[in-house]
Amino acid sequence: MQSFHHPPLSRQIGLLGLGFGIGAIAKLTLSRRPGSVSDARHVKVRTTVTIRREPADVYRFWRDLRNLPLFMRHVQGVTESDGHSKWHAVGPGRTRLEWEAEITSDRANEQIAWRSLDGAALPNHGAVEFVPAPDGQGTEVHLELGFEPPLGALGAGIARLFDQVPEIQLKNDLRRLKQILETGEVVHSDASIHRGLHPARPVAPEKLPLLHGLVRA
């Protein structure tokens, strides 16, 4: 499944700077980043969203790992067999990353946790919890990802990437999950379908990026 990509983060932040001090507001917010903890070797990112579906529905969609690239923009494909999954992703500088992972915890309708197997270029682990929201409003999805960038240039690049605005990327991933589960597909605007900044206007058919197909979850 083809996914398409965010504009570079620096340009996204630049966009915010266009009007009256909004850039300052963004910087102020970003400098706090309560959702992430990082030291030289370990980066942790957390985010959460509420989806108006039963925990069982959200769990079922997530547990089919082939669905993850539909809403995780940096993940291009996941296949699963014999309890192991193989992940294809795009890393910093558009480097291709591949690794194998195993599910370390799987509690139906409640939680899934996973970690990469030895030999991953970017050792990582993650956990997602599905918690019923108050008053029957649906499901709170709490996602945490952890990375242990290797030493050296690639590791430094990854650390820099996650030192920017990881919560925004991850939150946008969860927002797309919410769109799929609540409306049936990822929601597109004339500007959002393009990489980088693009005016809010239609483009000729030959310039139209490949979009996700309709997903009925």
Partner 1 sequence: MKANCWYGKKHLRVEEVPDPKILNARDAIVRVTSTAICGSDLHLFNGFMPSLEKGDVLGHEFMGEVVEVGAGVKNLSVGDRVVVPFPIACGACNACSRGLWSLCENSNPNAWMAEKLWGHSPAGLFGYSHLLGGYAGGQAEYARVPFADVGPLKVPEGLDDEQVLFLSDIFPTGYMGAEMCDLKGGEVVAVWGAGPVGQFAIASAILLGAERVIAIDRFPYRLDLARERAGATDVINYEEVDVYEALLEMTGGRGPDHCIDAVGLEAHAPGPMYAVDRAKQAMMLETDRPLALRQAIRCCRSGGVISVIGVYGGLIDHFPMGAIVNRSLTVRSGQCHVHRYLKPLLDRIQRGEIDPSFVITHRLPLSDAPRAYQMFSDKQDACEKVVLKA
Question: What whole-number distance in Å separates Cα of residue 25 and Cα of residue 200?
Answer: 24
Min separation Cβ 205 and partner 1, Å: 6
Among the listed residues 93, 91, 58, 54, the one whose alpha carbon sits nearest the alpha carbon of residue 75:
91
| Strands across the sheet containing 139-147 | 36-38, 43-51, 139-147, 124-132, 111-116, 96-107, 84-90, 75-81
Q: Which residues bind partner 1 (CB under 8 A)?
A: 12, 15-16, 18-22, 25-26, 29, 50, 52, 137-138, 168, 171-172, 175, 178-179, 182-185, 187-193, 197-205, 208, 211, 214
Tell me the closest approach of the beta carbon of residue 150 to partner 1, in angstroms: 29
State the minimum distance, in angstroms, from the CB of residue 57 to partner 1.
13
Quote the Cα angle for 71-168-30, to 5°: 175
Of 19 and 152, nearer to partner 1 (C-beta) is: 19
How wide is the angle at C-alpha 5 spanned by C-alphas 180 and 206, nearest 5°?
A: 95
Nearer to partner 1, 29 or 109 (CB): 29
Nearest to partner 1 of 94, 216 (CB atom) = 216
Write down the least CB distance from residue 34 to partner 1, Å: 14
Question: Any idea what the Cα angle at residue 46 is, between residues 166 and 137, rounded to 5°?
Answer: 120
Nearer Cβ to partner 1 (151/200):
200
